[in-house]
Each structure stands twice: as C-alpha cells, then as structure tokens.
C-alpha cells in the first residue's frame, strides 16, 4: 500500500520546505520534488497545507481508577478523539493502587489499550510502592519496552511515595537507564491545608487552589530535584503550572540536574477564575496542580518559547460533571481531579501559540511532538519527517475556522473546558503508519489498529 502527499509545506522542529512525501506500507520512503505516484497509490493534494510529524501527547490518562471513580474515556473513544485533533501517539500513565502487583497492572493497562486504540501508544510505569518484589517486576517491565517511570509526590494515602521509595525508584531508574516522570506537590502540605480549609467550612471548588498553592508545587519540584541530584537520575516534571515551580526547575537545571519540564494546554489558556465559577461550575476546572493566576501564563509561554519547558501535554483526565465531579458537591477534596483536553491540544496551541506570535512553528512542532519523541525513546521513528520514520503525518489546514463545543467533540465526557473558544486551523488529513485515519475532522481509520510502542532504555 502506498500514499503520496503532494505540494505540502513540510514543517518539522528544525526545517520548513515544500516537497512531496511518499510512504510505502508504514514508512516514509521518499521526500522530493515532483514525485510521481505508482499505480494504486493514494494521492493527497496538500497545496496550501502545512505538514507536521504526527503529534505526541506524553501525558494522558484513559484507564484511570481514581478518587472513587474511573476516568470516562475508553481507548477507543480517546484514540479517535486524539487522531481527529492530530495526536497520533500518546503515552498513558499506568497508575496502580499501592497494593497492586506492578506486572499485573502493566498487563491490565496493556490489555485495555491493545486492539482498542486506533493510534499508537506506550506507557509510563507508575511506581506507587517500592519493595524488592516490585523492584524485580519494574525491571521486567522495562525489558518489555516501558522505559520510563512515574511517581506521585502528591495524593497522600493513594498514589504518593515515601522519600525512601522515591530514593529507591530513582536509584533503579538510574541503574536501568530510564527517566522518571514526577507529579510534584508536597502531599503532606496538601493534606494539612485541606483539613484546615474544611475545618473552616470552606468546602467549594473555589478553595481547591488554596489547598495547593504555588509554594506547595515549588516545594515538590525542589524535593524531587534534590533526590535526582544525589542519584544523578534523569527526571521529567509533569504538568508544571506556575512561576514558582518553574524557577525551582530552572535553578536545578543550572546546577546540572538532569531535569526536563512539561506544561499543559490548560495552564496556558485557563486560569484560577474558572475554578471559582459559581453554582459548582468551578468543579469542571478542578485539577492538580490547580489552574493558577493568569500572571503565570506569560511565564509558561515564555518558558515554552525559550525551551526551558520542553513539552506541551494534556494530562487528559475526563470526569463527567453530572455524575462524577458532583461527588465533591459538599467537599472539594472529593471532586475527581482532572480536565479533559486530548482532542483540542494541538489546535489550541496552534491558534493561541503560533497564530498569536507566542511560539514559532518549529517550537510548536518541537514541544507538541519532537521533544516527547526524543525524551521517551521514540525518535526518529516518531516526531520526525524523514526517510525511515513512521508515516504519521498531519496535513494541517491553517485556513480552517471553528469553535470548540461539547456538541461536536469526540471525547466521552459531558462538558468541554474550552467551550466556545475559536480555533484557527485543524488537521485536514491525519495518517497513522501510512494509513489515513482522519479526513476533514472525521475519523475514517481502523479502530484497534494502534500499536504498543516498545522503547529501549539507556538513550540518555
Ligand atoms: O488533576 C489531575 N492532574 N488529574 C489526573 C491525575 C494526575 O495527577 O495526573
Ligand atoms: Zn499528576
Ligand atoms: Zn496525570
């Protein structure tokens, strides 16, 4: 099977030029001017379009047992939504309960995705307990192709690890040559602040921020980087939300800690005022770390532009407002944490980043695709348009205009946090390993065709 994409403007993290791209089976095999199509080739006219490498979301939750409920999407709904939005690969967090067997959790998450996901996928392995039995299983899981760990410094009594466990996780990660991703908030501080606020009858979603202020996140970053420094481990801070935390990461970077930073589209475009909306509407915007004061957005955009922040992810975590967020009606600490955004990340980043002059096209591709591929051992198979790369391509229409709405979304949740926002561009065609999966905003691919991407450790 072959595919020829003609006359598009190819844009990667470092290059921009007009050429044709020829794909055979699953791979890009020629990039040149005036390529002709052998008989039977599907030809796509990309005149006036931009062609990006398939976008990678390095932080999503699909199967997620959390806070007494489960995130709403299935791998089928989430992957279709991802593809319509231009994301051709995602990295899902495996989040076992502390009492779960890590290997059983890996098999469970893999089983949920395999044969269901329409786009390619891989995992970060959550370390929620560290003992010698678990250590052995983590080593086996890395051999099975999962070359990154995830630790939570937050969520006391659920996912959070002790300092001893953090130390042992980073020691093992260093030994195996894998990177550790980390949710950085001080779990004890959060718990004490929650107790104090509830004791003062401050129970609404508007108090969520006060229970996890910027210093609590900055302390988490500082804490992680102290441990990473001692062990010379490689760490990646997920969903960094504010100036204070970014300053801690920058200080760590300058003293030589191997640290990379991710932020989210939510933090760039939504703010604390959303979580303060009346009539419990604010619950739709409760996530951790919380949405911050608007002043932080300039810092995050600048951090992205300058590369101090490497990646832009979603932390997609969809919970229905009507039946799930409502669980915290009388107690904000019971509102399932998370804001969905898998479908809209790329179009919003393009519109409010590139079109508004906050980041250039190359940094856009880099932050939403190439950096994740490099950091997590997928490059140049993913995140690149070059000979031999997987033919994951986004033929992007920069002239399209649309409005985000729950009424038209593909994700399986009863609201959209970006409701009513304009987008100025969207994927015209999306391919996954040489097959067209999306045309004009419609999924036309093969459900369940997505492949588990095994990643080698030790590429640092
Ligand atoms: O609020 C969030 N971020 N929910 C998803 C779980 C996590 O912490 O990543
Ligand atoms: Zn988190
Ligand atoms: Zn997350």
- The CA dihedral of 153, 159, 164, 169, to the nearest 10 degrees, is -90
Gap from CA of 124 to ligand 3 centroid (Å): 10
Pocket test for ligand 1, best of 68, 236, 338, 339 (most atoms within 8 A of CB): 338
Tokens of 315: 């932390």
The pLDDT of residue 30: 98
The pLDDT of residue 446: 97
The pLDDT of residue 1: 85
- Average pLDDT of adjacent 10-residue blocks, the chain of 460 residues: 96 98 98 96 98 98 97 98 98 97 98 98 98 96 98 95 98 98 98 98 98 98 98 98 98 98 98 98 98 98 98 98 98 98 98 98 98 98 98 98 98 98 98 98 97 92
The pLDDT of residue 460: 72
Residue 178: partners with Cβ closer than 8 Å, 6 or more residues away: 142, 147, 148, 149, 234, 457, 458
Gap from CA of 59 to ligand 2 centroid (Å): 9
Nearest bound ligand to the CA of residue 124: 3
The pLDDT of residue 439: 98
| Minimum-distance ligand 1 atom for the alpha carbon of 95 | 6
The pLDDT of residue 456: 95
Gap between the Cα atoms of 87 and 243, Å rounded = 28
Q: Which of 211, 353, 221 is nearest to 286 (CA)?
A: 211
Gap from CA of 239 to ligand 1 centroid (Å): 8
């Amino acid at each position: 099977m072959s595919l020829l994409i003609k006359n598009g403007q190819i844009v990667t993290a470092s290059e921009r030029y007009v050429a044709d791209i020829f794909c055979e089976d699953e791979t890009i095999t020629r990039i040149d001017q005036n390529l002709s199509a052998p008989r039977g080739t599907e030809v796509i006219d990309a005149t006036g379009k931009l062609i990006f490498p398939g976008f990678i979301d390095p932080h999503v939750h699909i199967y997620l047992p959390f806070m007494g409920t489960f995130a709403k999407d299935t791998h089928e709904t989430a992957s279709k939504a991802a593809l319509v939005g231009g994301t051709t690969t995602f990295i899902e967090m495996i989040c076992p309960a502390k009492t779960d067997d890590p290997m059983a959790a890996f098999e469970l998450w893999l089983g949920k995705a395999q044969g269901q996901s329409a786009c390619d996928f891989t995992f970060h392995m959550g370390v929620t307990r560290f003992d010698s039995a678990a250590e052995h299983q983590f080593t086996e899981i890395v051999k099975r192709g999962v070359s990154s760990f995830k630790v939570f410094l937050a969520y006391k009594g659920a996912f959070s690890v002790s300092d001893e466990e953090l130390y042992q996780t980073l020691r093992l990660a260093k030994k195996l040559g894998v990177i550790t991703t980390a949710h950085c908030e001080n779990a004890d501080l959060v718990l004490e602040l929650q107790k104090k606020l509830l004791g003062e009858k401050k129970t609404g979603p508007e108090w969520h921020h006060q229970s996890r202020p910027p210093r609590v996140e900055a302390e988490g970053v500082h804490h992680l980087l102290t441990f990473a420094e001692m062990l010379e481990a490689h760490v990646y801070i997920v969903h960094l939300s504010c100036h204070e935390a970014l300053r801690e990461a920058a200080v760590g970077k300058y003293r030589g800690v191997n640290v990379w930073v991710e932020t989210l589209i939510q933090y760039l475009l939504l703010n604390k005022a959303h979580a303060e909306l009346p009539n419990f509407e604010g619950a739709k915007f409760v996530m951790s770390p919380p949405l911050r004061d608007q002043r932080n957005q300039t810092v995050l955009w600048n951090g992205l532009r300058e590369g101090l922040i490497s990646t832009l992810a979603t932390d997609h975590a969809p919970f229905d407002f009507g039946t799930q967020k409502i669980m915290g009606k009388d107690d904000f600490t019971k509102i399932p944490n998370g804001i969905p955004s898998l479908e809209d990340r790329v179009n919003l980043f393009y519109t409010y980043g590139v079109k508004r002059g906050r980041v250039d096209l190359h940094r856009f591709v880099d932050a939403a695709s190439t950096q994740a591929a490099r950091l997590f051992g997928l490059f140049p198979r993913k995140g690149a348009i070059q000979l031999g790369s997987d033919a994951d391509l986004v033929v992007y229409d920069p002239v399209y205009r649309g409005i985000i709405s729950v009424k038209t979304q593909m994700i399986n949740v009863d609201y959209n946090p970006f409701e009513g926002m304009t987008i100025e561009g969207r994927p015209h065609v999306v391919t996954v390993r040489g097959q067209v999966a999306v045309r004009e905003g419609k999924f036309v691919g093969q459900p369940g065709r997505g492949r588990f991407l095994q990643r080698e450790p030790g590429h640092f």
